[in-house]
Amino acid sequence: MPKRDDLKTILIVGAGPIVIGQACEFDYSGTQACKALKEEGYRVVLVNSNPATIMTDPEFADRTYVEPITPEVVEKIIAAERPDALLPTVGGQTGLNLALALAERGALERYGVELIGASVEAIRKAEDRDLFKEIMTSIGLDLPRSGWATTDLAAMEVMKRVGLPAIVRPSRTLGGTGGGIAETPREFAEVVRWGLASSPISQVLIEESIAGWKEFELEVMRDRADNVVIICSIENFDPMGVHTGDSITVAPAQTLTDKEYQIMRQAALAIIRAIGVDTGGSNIQFAVHPRTGRLVVIEMNPRVSRSSALASKATGFPIAKIAAKLAVGYTLDEIPNDITRETPASFEPTIDYVVTKIPRFTFEKFRQAKDVLGPQMKSVGEAMAIGRTFRESLQKAIRSLEVDRYGFEPEGSEALSRADLEAKLRTPNARRLWYLGDAYRRGLTTEEVSALTGIDPWFLENVRRIIAEEDGIAADSGPLDAGRLRAWKRMGFSDRRLAELRGESEAEIRARRVALGVRAVYKTVDTCGAEFAAHTPYLYSTYEGEDESGLLGARGKRKVMILGGGPNRIGQGIEFDYCCVHAAFALREDGFETLMVNCNPETVSTDYDTSDKLFFEPLTLEDVLEIVHRENPEGVIVQFGGQTPLKLAVPLEQAGVKILGTSPDSIDRAEDRERFEQVLAKLDLLRPVNGLARSAAEAVAVAERIGYPVLVRPSYVLGGRAMEIVYRREDLERYMREAVRVSPEHPVLIDDFLEEAIEVDVDAVADGEDVVVGGVMEHIERAGVHSGDSACSLPPKSIPAAVQDEIRRQTVALARELGVVGLMNVQFAVKESVVYILEVNPRASRTVPFVSKATGRPLAKIAARVMVGRKLRALGVTGEIIPKHVSVKEAVFPFLKFPGVDTLLGPEMKSTGEVMGIDGSFGMSFAKAQIGAGTVLPLSGTVFVSVLDADKPATVAIARRLAACGFSLLATDGTAAHLRRAGLRVERVNKVREGSPHIVDALESGAIALVINTPEGAAASLDSFSIRRTALERQLPYFTTVAGAEAAAEGIEMLQRGALSVRALQDYHSAASPGSSV
């Protein structure tokens, strides 16, 4: 069937901000869908509040709305653009929920919008667990015993039938938020209460626990002629009980015979048909009993999912792109397979390698959170690796994770008792993989380890064999020969791990390996096991005979390699992938052959058509040098992928690799404290008074010299890790004792903390001569909140023009002095109109995509061009673009996923993603950003205020504005008194410790519409913690800084004044841009 020509305009819904459970895989899928539909000649309208996405680049859609993804707002977009159809299946759960909400409010019918990809009915059948169960039973499929409940009492009834242990899953939450396993009746009651609170419809599903069963996933696609194919099978290394997003997963399935696999395949076909997903992809999860083979259906996602992204990268089959084409009426046999060109998409990919994905966790960011994995997803990113065997792919995946692991290094459990080690194995946790290694070193058998972990013996035997090989490597004392070395490399051992095991240096191992000619070769991911010729150069390394990379790619073109950012984590996310993708696009447009290196399967950068050659490889020195050896590019771009590639700049340069753009020496001048002092002295620029301490005593001395409060951080970690603001000597001593390991090699940095200073971020691009400021952003939250966690406004909201100009002058001076070629980000603090420099990073920053969306100027593309020798002037990039509209960026936090964690902001970054609000005024843009981030600013009701003494004067004005807007005020004792003295009418409420009825009771009863609560110092009292936590769990808007509250008041005023309106990015840009030629 050909494509439908009754459709002209199609609305695509993005997934919004990056949150746990919904990461950049939906930028990947949305971008593919946009490209596919535009390619087919449709007019594409896109809505997504996340500015750091490629899909929101204005060229990917005809009309791009960076607006909150709420039914109200999207209905306005529908009214303005009158799309014929809405594709909700490439925007994650957000897309599906929005489609359902639009259908429920009648908006689709009102404007004659057809849902394509999945109907409301199919979405309901898949999402409503009761209905799903009914349908599965009707087609003869087995499920775990279950029942659902909307009250505690009903839950107990269900428990009697289902038995314990039982799993509790709240309805309609992302990534299983609020779920848990209960082993005892008491635990059960607790988990149910939490689950009911998390569910937007107060409903939980209680299921027979099938923890310990083998877990599988199938990626299925169907077209409107009812052709169904399986794209990929995935087997979880971690058995049932750990959310699949938190599990190590392997493709293809490893431990099923064909008979068993075909039963699962038949079931998947029956399910997608019964649910009625007419076109597109679905992800179906199954569990298999390890001893009887009983197969039960777990769930189905009637849309492109995280697993679909993984399956796409694992097989080379572009699921989202094909799903988009199927949605407009094509059938699978009408769509060519891009990779082979000659065969159609109606086939099942076969792979001749093993893919391993390992999730990346950041428990260290949330000190109160327990490192225990369960049905609620907690990982923030993932790394994928490809090898010819599981052992090779597993070891490659480990070093792709960037957790300072290069293999199965001991986890240090020698000191643990056997019982403690067994507990580490029994309870899933982020380090369990390495505890497995320890268990084998201690002599546990596979049978024992399997009994403790439930992990299939096949996976465990592979780990055991790696550990056994390590013993052999360590015992082997003779000179290395090519045969043994090759055998080890084929098992995936890194040079670094081999070096550790043999007591040599990594450089020595590498030199010997190179001398022996043991080098990596590159094989193609081609969907067909080499049955057909592949045209897309998607490659991975292995140690075998034949190299295929030389056969692919363009000849005679200048070659540039771009290093990606690796797994997502807090502090390094999609923003850096965005920059890498832009570099690839710009250089390809300019006729270069681009080589992309990355190991994050969620990203656009690892799409096979983003670059000319994709190397799906770990970002370690070894792996990058091997590619350089094979490809010999003229230079490497390290400044776009964040810290991961930046760390490689110096070692790569030392190995003779040309680093494009700003030189590693200049980067070092900006990062090395002493050298940077010299730069500042030369330019006569200010930074906060600071010092270095190599012991606790020295730290106290430095702090007393500077004067409290001070900002302390270890010198050897980046991204705000373990950074703290210290107000008193006791706190400093505690910090030195508990938070850092100080030594002469690893001193602690101590800075004067500029209280109440306004922070400013500037992004600029320079070509070694000229410097152009990309954007000046004023942070909303005051100094002390990590720049990644602070909201910001472009252009600045309150900074006087003269100060802004001074900031620009300093930016230009720094860029010139450092010889920046490419991007640079500077963080300033402004206090009493004095400008201080906090940090200079001569590389891409987290704000580059935001600035690009706000100004319409593609900074990363410009920077890439400059780095290969072009000049800003020649590119027509001269003056700064200062838009008339206001863009506000707001951070999005994962607190809800971590029970017991405080929501306070500080110098350590905690946000996972960001949204952008764009409008004519600061207030409205801020309000949009809040809505986009899930905080719906109320227009009426009661505001609860409880602030620090220091914040009380500033709070009066905010309270007055809110009162003028018609809000009633409620405050705890001190705050109430202060506000009353200012002449405001305030009702008083008990603090928790003053007894019921207290503020938490009021929050839980739903009497409060907005919370303003500023905490005292670093150590928040239990009282204010319970307020913030309750507000979070009740999903009430809450502000923990005065500046945030003030911005909220302004937003509320704007929202009251007039309804929120929508406008496409293309309209903003045509009004703002002077017509840059880039």
Partner 1 sequence: MSGARPAILALADGTVFRGGSFGAEGETAGEVVFNTSMTGYQEILTDPSYRGQLVCMTYTEIGNVGINPEDVESRRPFVDGFIVREYWAEPSNWRSRESLGDYLARCGIVGIGGIDTRALVRRLRTSGAQTGVISTADLDAERLVRKAREHPTLVGRDLVREVTCAAPYDWHQGLWKLDGGYQTVADAGRFVVAYDYGIKWNILRNLASAGCRVRVVPAATPAEDVLDMRPDGVFLSNGPGDPDAVDYAIDNVAKLVGKKPLLGICLGHQILGLALGGKTYNLKFGHHGGNQPVMDLTTRKVEITAQNHGFAVDVDSLKGLAELTHVNLNDRTVEGLRVPAQRAFSVQYHPEASPGPHDANYLFQRFMLLIDTGEM
Structure tokens at 354: 């093993």
Q: Check residue 1032 and report its DSSP letter.
A: H
- CA–CA dist 370, 374 (Å, integer): 11
- CA–CA dist 869, 591 (Å, integer): 14
The alpha helices in 454-530, defined as continuous H runs, are 457-475, 482-490, 495-502, 506-515
Taking the complex as a whole, the smallest distance from the CB of residue 389 to partner 1 amounts, in Å, to 5
The alpha helices in 316-374, defined as continuous H runs, are 319-327
Does the CA dihedral 996-997-1001-1005 come out positive or negative? positive
Q: Of 249 and 594, which CB lies nearer to partner 1 in the complex structure?
A: 249
Q: Which of residues 580-599 bind partner 1 (CB under 8 A)?
A: none
Binding residue (CB under 8 A) for partner 1 from 332, 679, 864, 1027: 332
Binding residue (CB under 8 A) for partner 1 from 32, 64, 307, 346: 346
Closest CA to 576 of 823, 839, 827: 823
Residue the block writes with tokens 């909150």 = 68
Directed axis angle between helix 664-671 and helix 673-683, to 10°?
90
677 binds partner 1 (CB under 8 A): no
Taking the complex as a whole, the smallest distance from the CB of residue 343 to partner 1 amounts, in Å, to 5
User: How many chain residues touch partner 1 (CB under 8 A)?
Assistant: 61
Taking the complex as a whole, the smallest distance from the CB of residue 487 to partner 1 amounts, in Å, to 5
- CA–CA dist 611, 188 (Å, integer): 51
Closest CA to 11 of 54, 50, 62: 62
Q: Of 523 and 857, which CB lies nearer to partner 1 in the complex structure?
A: 523
Taking the complex as a whole, the smallest distance from the CB of residue 505 to partner 1 amounts, in Å, to 25
Binding residue (CB under 8 A) for partner 1 from 212, 276, 457, 906: 457
The string of DSSP letters for 463-474 reads: HHHHHHHHHHHH
Q: Of 363 and 458, which CB lies nearer to partner 1 in the complex structure?
A: 458
- CA–CA dist 924, 518 (Å, integer): 61
711 binds partner 1 (CB under 8 A): no
Q: Which of these ranges, 27-35, 49-57, 454-462, 878-886, lies near partner 1 under the rule CB under 8 A?
A: 454-462
- What is the bridge-based pairing of β-strands 613-616 and 538-542? parallel
Q: Are 1049 and 958 in contact (CB under 8 A)?
A: yes
Binding residue (CB under 8 A) for partner 1 from 150, 202, 389, 427: 389
Binding residue (CB under 8 A) for partner 1 from 114, 128, 187, 260: 260
Q: From the DSSP assignment, how many helices (H) and strands (E) are in the chain?
A: 37, 38
Cis peptide leading into residue 359 (ω within 30°): no
Can you give the length of the chain in residues? 1078
Q: Which of these ranges, 203-211, 387-395, 600-608, 857-865, lies near partner 1 under the rule CB under 8 A?
A: 387-395
Q: Of 265 and 885, which CB lies nearer to partner 1 in the complex structure?
A: 265
Q: Of 527 and 1040, which CB lies nearer to partner 1 in the complex structure?
A: 527
Taking the complex as a whole, the smallest distance from the CB of residue 478 to partner 1 amounts, in Å, to 15
Taking the complex as a whole, the smallest distance from the CB of residue 239 to partner 1 amounts, in Å, to 13
390 binds partner 1 (CB under 8 A): yes
Q: Which of these ranges, 131-139, 346-354, 796-804, 811-819, lies near partner 1 under the rule CB under 8 A?
A: 346-354
Binding residue (CB under 8 A) for partner 1 from 9, 150, 202, 343: 343
Q: Of 253 and 863, which CB lies nearer to partner 1 in the complex structure?
A: 253
351 binds partner 1 (CB under 8 A): yes
Closest CA to 532 of 719, 336, 388: 336
Q: Which of these ranges, 383-391, 632-640, 704-712, 802-810, lies near partner 1 under the rule CB under 8 A?
A: 383-391
Structure tokens at 484: 């043994």
Q: Which of these ranges, 26-34, 329-337, 398-406, 797-805, lies near partner 1 under the rule CB under 8 A?
A: 329-337
Binding residue (CB under 8 A) for partner 1 from 4, 224, 243, 265: 265
**How many Å separate Cα 699 from the centre of its chain?**
35
262 binds partner 1 (CB under 8 A): yes
Cis peptide leading into residue 714 (ω within 30°): no
Taking the complex as a whole, the smallest distance from the CB of residue 63 to partner 1 amounts, in Å, to 36
Q: Of 521 and 943, which CB lies nearer to partner 1 in the complex structure?
A: 521
- CA–CA dist 924, 918 (Å, integer): 8
- CA–CA dist 380, 570 (Å, integer): 7
Binding residue (CB under 8 A) for partner 1 from 40, 114, 190, 333: 333
Q: Are 339 and 608 in contact (CB under 8 A)?
A: yes
Q: Which of residues 483-542 bind partner 1 (CB under 8 A)?
A: 484, 487, 523, 528-533
Taking the complex as a whole, the smallest distance from the CB of residue 345 to partner 1 amounts, in Å, to 9
Ramachandran angles phi, psi of 710, nearest 5°: -125, 155
Taking the complex as a whole, the smallest distance from the CB of residue 1066 to partner 1 amounts, in Å, to 40
Q: Of 458 and 708, which CB lies nearer to partner 1 in the complex structure?
A: 458
- CA–CA dist 815, 820 (Å, integer): 5
- CA–CA dist 397, 599 (Å, integer): 8
Burial class (CB in 10 A: 0-12, 13-18, 19+), 1078: middle
Closest CA to 756 of 944, 574, 950: 950
- CA–CA dist 777, 656 (Å, integer): 38
Binding residue (CB under 8 A) for partner 1 from 38, 172, 212, 347: 347
Q: Of 493 and 585, which CB lies nearer to partner 1 in the complex structure?
A: 493
451 binds partner 1 (CB under 8 A): no
**How many Å separate Cα 703 from the centre of its chain?**
36
Taking the complex as a whole, the smallest distance from the CB of residue 215 to partner 1 amounts, in Å, to 15
Taking the complex as a whole, the smallest distance from the CB of residue 242 to partner 1 amounts, in Å, to 19
Binding residue (CB under 8 A) for partner 1 from 80, 197, 263, 680: 263
741 binds partner 1 (CB under 8 A): no
Binding residue (CB under 8 A) for partner 1 from 9, 254, 663, 1035: 254
Taking the complex as a whole, the smallest distance from the CB of residue 542 to partner 1 amounts, in Å, to 9
The string of DSSP letters for 5-53 reads: SS--EEEEE---S-BTTB-THHHHHHHHHHHHHHHTT-EEEEE-S-TT-
**How many Å separate Cα 552 from the centre of its chain?**
32
Q: Which of these ranges, 257-265, 637-645, 787-795, 927-935, lies near partner 1 under the rule CB under 8 A?
A: 257-265
- CA–CA dist 574, 587 (Å, integer): 20
Q: How far apart are the first and last CA of the chain?
A: 40
Contact string (CB under 8 A) for partner 1, positions 75-104, x = contact:
------------------------------
Binding residue (CB under 8 A) for partner 1 from 40, 72, 348, 733: 348
Residues 6+ apart with CB under 8 A from 263: 295
Taking the complex as a whole, the smallest distance from the CB of residue 458 to partner 1 amounts, in Å, to 4
Q: Which of these ranges, 74-82, 84-92, 342-350, 789-797, lies near partner 1 under the rule CB under 8 A?
A: 342-350
Q: Which of residues 268-297 bind partner 1 (CB under 8 A)?
A: 290-295
Q: Of 263 and 954, which CB lies nearer to partner 1 in the complex structure?
A: 263
Q: Which of residues 215-234 bind partner 1 (CB under 8 A)?
A: 225-227, 229-230, 233
Q: Of 188 and 522, which CB lies nearer to partner 1 in the complex structure?
A: 522
Cα distances (Å, whole numbers) of residue 629 to 269, 483, 514: 46, 21, 10
Structure tokens at 77: 């977009």
Residues 6+ apart with CB under 8 A from 822: 639, 660, 661, 662, 765, 766, 842, 843, 844, 863, 864, 866, 867
Residue the block writes with tokens 């349908």 = 135
Q: Of 348 and 609, which CB lies nearer to partner 1 in the complex structure?
A: 348
**Binding positions for partner 1, rule: CB under 8 A:** 225-227, 229-230, 233, 252-263, 265-266, 290-295, 331-333, 342-344, 346-354, 388-390, 456-458, 461, 484, 487, 523, 528-533, 544-546, 548
